[in-house]
Structure 1
Amino acid sequence: MNTIKVFAPATVANVVCGYDILGFAIDEPGDEIILSKNNSHQIAITKIEGDGGKLPKNPDKNVVSHVIRLFLKKINSDQGIDIELYKKMPLNSGMGSSAASSVAALVAINELMGAPFSRQELLPLAMEGERIACGNAHADNVAPALLGGLVLVRSYEPLDALRLPYPKDLSVVCVHPYVDVPTGEARKIIKERISLKSAVQQWGNIAGLVAGCCTNDLGLVGRSLEDVIIEPVRAMLIPYFYEMKQFALDSGAIGFGISGSGPSVFALCGNMEIAEVISQKIKELLSQKNIESESFVTKINEDGARVIS
């Protein structure tokens, strides 16, 4: 095999109450990458499309070439690689754009080089892509993009990420308002200290969310989709966040929150019909406020990154 094409999905990190430890993949959007072997012993980015010219083609500065270089070093290979990256999701959206690129690259190079590593073994390398992208090697985007489904990062030291069961009928609305909330800045405003009362409440919500997903109890899931630590701070960066949240809940959403660091928001719904209604209502609200947006109505992606050809 000399050439391979891989798709990696967008993700919703945190899932409201699980900051840096919970995330799920969605069917769309996502990124595609094509890797081809070359004889130059060099890594070259030959094409990037869909980024509006914002991403560097310099292989020393791009997360895709960075994780490929880490992979090749790990297997002691000097194989040359040409990279084509097709961004099919918005940048700086809170939907795991850099994670999708890193994961697509790693799954592709792993297959191209004979699949020496499992998906779990690729996870630390994908996290290094996040370190380059936003300064923090968190796994709540890359883990679900790699593994698919709903993922819990139980521990970072040592790394322990595992898939959780979830209600298969769940539908997801992701709405991306065209406003700028850089991930690094969104992380900086988070409080370094919280009260024990808030911590206990958050732990209860995380446990309730996991229990609700494992038992298909949508009522428990909905009650648990509450964040008393991160959302109150980050919501200030997202125009009309609470208005969007109220629209979603009044229209039948199980829960609503910020996708990753924002500005994208998401709603969990019991079916696609409710999801479509919520998508339309939120887009109409933002339009009335002169904010352009795009939305995705989708299911949770069960498989994570996949080889296309």
Structure 2
Amino acid sequence: MIKIYAPASIGNVGVGFDILGAAIKPINGELLGDCITIKLSKNFQLINKGIFSNQLPTNTEQNIVWKCWSKFCKIIQKNIPVSIILEKNLPSGSGLGSSACSIVATLVAINEIFNNPLNSKELLLLMGEVEGEISGSIHYDNVAPSYLGGLQLILEDSHIISQNIPNFTTWFWIVAWPGVKLSTASARKILPKKYTKDICVKNSRYLASFIHASYTQQSNLAARCMKELIAEPYRSKLLPNFFKNKEEIKKLGAISCGISGSGPTIFAVSENIKIAKKISLWLKNNYLKNKTGFVHICYIDTKGVRKIG
């Protein structure tokens, strides 16, 4: 029996639409992500557990886990039955890479119990493919950090899909999910088909400056460059009072604030734990819509997917 954990992630990281992704872990040691427990079996079995298991489809063949197993078996041209327990600890449609967590943990667990027929690149390609079928287009900004850990730059080069770039170990990442869902597919549909040259140039400048600041460890420059011109102006309409909330969070001392992935989770960055706690409390009191919503103060998770238990 094998148990695999895959961490939550912040897609886009503000400035890098579909290009940047960061794996995160709460500073209190909680596991913010999904777990897969797997063993060989006579028939395929799937048991759903966890806080958000009630959000999963009742039809097994509509479950991401089954889709991962089915695709894997086709690739290796063997139908090997397994028994899987999915612990769904992330809400779907949250903007924290919920589907990516399930995909990464499942495919790593299946690969391991089948004696690793796929290498890491083949696994990541398959993760992106499954993610693309769910969201409407292949993108690696959640699956790559959840799989590899750290802050990932998505290259999609013929030889290299993603590479780790330096992150700021002094940064606290505060993430707040309000307790409501927002479909990734619908959040992608709201984006325009074309952008002006001015927007493209500005976005390229901010992204290049952020990457440069990351490698030269210029924290203030990196934070100032986390400006989002591709998705935030449009997706903010799906998040009530987003700009007002962003202004309040920055008044509290956040050095950056943005939408995590497609939303509705938002993130803030602080270099001071006292300020991070103030932001966390403000978000709990002002951003959460119900008791299922949550706020976590996090570090970057440098490990990515891993065996636990």
TM-score between both structures, scaled by the size of structure 1: 0.92
| Match runs of 1:135-146 below 5 Å | 135-146=136-147
| Match runs of 1:83-232 below 5 Å | 83-155=84-156, 160-232=161-233
Aligned-pair CA distance for 1:125: 1.1
8 A contact 1:93–1:176 mirrored in 2: yes
Q: Which residue does the alignment assign to 2:253?
A: 252
Percent of aligned positions that are identical: 35
Q: Which residue does the alignment assign to 2:77?
A: 76
What is the rounded CA distance, in whole Å, between the counterparts of 1:291 and 1:69 in structure 2? 36
Q: Which residue does the alignment assign to 1:31?
A: 34
In structure 1, the residue corresponding to 2:156 is in which secondary structure?
Answer: strand
8 A contact 2:21–2:151 mirrored in 1: yes
2:302 is equivalent to residue 302 of structure 1 = yes
Q: Which residue does the alignment assign to 2:267?
A: 266
Aligned-pair CA distance for 1:291: 5.8
What is the rounded CA distance, in whole Å, between the counterparts of 2:271 and 2:119 in structure 1? 33
Aligned-pair CA distance for 1:66: 1.0
Aligned-pair CA distance for 1:157: 6.5
Q: Deviations over 1:191-213 (max 9, x none)?
A: 11000000000001111111111
Give the letter aligned to residue 188 of structure 1: K
What is the rounded CA distance, in whole Å, between the counterparts of 1:274 and 1:149 in structure 2? 23
Give the letter aligned to residue 132 of structure 2: R
Aligned-pair CA distance for 1:181: 1.9
Aligned-pair CA distance for 1:158: 7.0
What is the rounded CA distance, in whole Å, between the counterparts of 1:166 and 1:47 in structure 2? 34
8 A contact 1:45–1:58 mirrored in 2: no
What is the rounded CA distance, in whole Å, between the counterparts of 2:269 and 2:118 in structure 1? 33
Aligned-pair CA distance for 1:114: 1.8
Q: Deviations over 1:166-196 (max 9, x none)?
A: 1122211000112332111110010110000
8 A contact 2:90–2:98 mirrored in 1: yes
8 A contact 2:17–2:230 mirrored in 1: no
8 A contact 1:4–1:34 mirrored in 2: yes
Give the letter aligned to residue 181 of structure 1: L
How many pairs does the alignment contain? 303
Bigger share in strand: 1
8 A contact 1:59–1:66 mirrored in 2: no
8 A contact 2:176–2:287 mirrored in 1: no
8 A contact 1:67–1:128 mirrored in 2: no
The verdict on how the C-alpha distance between 1:58 and 1:156 changes in structure 2, with shifts beyond 3 A counting, is farther
Q: Which residue does the alignment assign to 2:3?
A: 5
Give the letter aligned to residue 86 of structure 1: E
What is the rounded CA distance, in whole Å, between the counterparts of 1:284 and 1:46 in structure 2? 35
Range moving further from structure 2, 292-301 or 55-64: 55-64
Gaps of 5+ in 1: none
Aligned-pair CA distance for 1:266: 0.3
In structure 1, the residue corresponding to 2:115 is in which secondary structure?
Answer: coil
Backbone CA RMSD of aligned residues: 1.8
The verdict on how the C-alpha distance between 1:6 and 1:222 changes in structure 2, with shifts beyond 3 A counting, is same
Q: Which residue does the alignment assign to 1:22?
A: 20
Aligned-pair CA distance for 1:262: 0.2
Give the letter aligned to residue 307 of structure 2: V
Aligned-pair CA distance for 1:161: 1.1
